[in-house]
């Protein structure tokens, strides 16, 4: 991750609707499928706000990140079991030692996601699993993705295929962030008509009222998903993959 983006993430993750909504989604999936107590490892801790929240939920937490800046930031928040590690290399974790692994918007950064998922499966106890989120809709791949170092955007079919190839069972898979899709289509279409080099990967700023409204939309969408009602499309996908 670009250090500038990490700095932005650290500032925004406590208040910006998208970060809060993703954290709430991950927490709801963890609570439903892998309730505490349990040992949780996050692959790609970023600015460590999510990992700190998972600890507050009652998990025994650990984390990896390729960035020594991210690891140092995590440790400064009291998260001592966080280490520098390239997720594409074999994870230095014992077989069957983890209850759940969390990878939020990580797989799209990996050139070999199936190999990584296969290695993660090795670390899970029987009945353990992985909670993931990824960006969706390959047609939307653009400057934002390139600036963030993405290899791909996902379809449900591709995510399911990669999980299956890694020997994992898909327990839940669906879209989220459907309510901002129309705006994203307009923005990406305009960017293709007016290309610009070195476009920054910045989250669009919104006012407090808009931020609250978007959070309400995300809460309603999460309620729909929890009621097993399908969300037909969205800018992102979530999945629960079980060993």
Which domains are seen in the chain, by residue range?
A: 3-242 (3.40.50.150)
| Buried-exposed string 37-60: b where 16+ CB fall within 10 A, e elsewhere | ebbbbbbbbbbbbbbbbbbeeebe
Give residue for tokens 């520098």: 84
Query: Between the CA of residue 75 and those of 10, 23, 30, 79, 164, what are the distances in Å?
Result: 14, 20, 23, 5, 35
Beta strands 39-43 and 60-65 are: parallel
Predicted confidence (pLDDT) at residue 194 exceeds the cutoff of 60: yes
Per-residue pLDDT band at 7 (split at 50, 70, 90): low
Residue 199 pLDDT greater than 60, yes or no: no
Q: Which of 7-21, 150-164, 192-206, 208-222 shows the lowest per-residue confidence on average (mean pLDDT)?
A: 192-206
Please give the pLDDT value at position 163: 98
Asked if the model's pLDDT at residue 4 lies above 80, the reply is: no
Centre a 10 Å sphere on the Cβ of residue 14 and count the other Cβ atoms it contains. 12
Q: Is the pLDDT of residue 169 over 80?
A: yes
pLDDT band at 223; cut points 50, 70, 90: very high
Beta strands in the chain (DSSP E): 39-43, 60-65, 82-84, 98-104, 124-135, 169-176, 236-242
CB 143 within 8 A of CB 191: yes
Q: Inter-axis angle of helices 208-226 and 17-33, to 10 degrees?
A: 20
Task: Please write the tens of the pLDDT for every residue from 97-143.
Answer: 999 999 999 999 999 999 999 999 999 999 999 999 999 999 999 88
Which of 14-23, 184-193, 206-215 is predicted with the least confidence, judged by mean pLDDT? Answer: 184-193
The 10s digit of each residue's pLDDT in 135-161 is 999 999 988 888 889 999 999 999 999
The strand pairing partners of 60, in sequence order, are 39
pTM above threshold 0.85: yes
Q: What is the mean pLDDT of residues 233-241?
A: 96
Q: What is the pLDDT of residue 198?
A: 57
- pLDDT tens by residue, 25-81: 999 999 999 999 999 999 999 889 999 999 999 999 999 999 999 999 999 999 999
What's the CA gap between 198 and 216, in Å, rounded?
Answer: 33
């Amino acid at each position: 991750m670009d250090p500038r983006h990490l700095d932005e993430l650290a500032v925004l993750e406590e208040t910006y609707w998208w970060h809060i909504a993703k954290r709430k989604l991950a927490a709801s999936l963890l609570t439903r499928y892998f309730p505490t107590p349990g040992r949780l490892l996050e692959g790609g801790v970023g600015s460590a706000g999510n990992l700190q929240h998972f600890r507050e939920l009652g998990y025994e937490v650990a984390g990896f990140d390729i960035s020594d800046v991210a690891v140092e930031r995590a440790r400064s928040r009291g998260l001592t079991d966080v280490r520098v590690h390239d997720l594409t290399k074999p994870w230095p974790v014992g077989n069957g030692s983890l209850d759940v692994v969390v990878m939020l918007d990580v797989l799209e950064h990996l050139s070999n996601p199936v190999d990584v998922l296969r290695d993660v499966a090795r670390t899970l106890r029987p009945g353990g699993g992985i909670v993931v989120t990824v960006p969706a809709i390959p047609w939307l791949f653009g400057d934002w993705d390139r600036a963030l170092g993405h290899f791909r955007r996902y379809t449900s079919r591709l995510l399911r295929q990669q999980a299956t190839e890694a020997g994992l069972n898909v327990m839940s898979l669906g879209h989220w962030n459907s309510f901002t899709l129309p705006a994203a289509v307009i923005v990406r279409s305009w960017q293709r008509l007016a290309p610009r080099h070195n476009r920054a990967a910045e989250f669009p700023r919104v006012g407090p009222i808009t931020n609250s409204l978007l959070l309400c939309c995300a809460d309603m969408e999460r309620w729909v998903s929890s009621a097993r009602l399908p969300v037909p499309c969205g800018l992102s996908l979530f999945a629960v993959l079980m060993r």
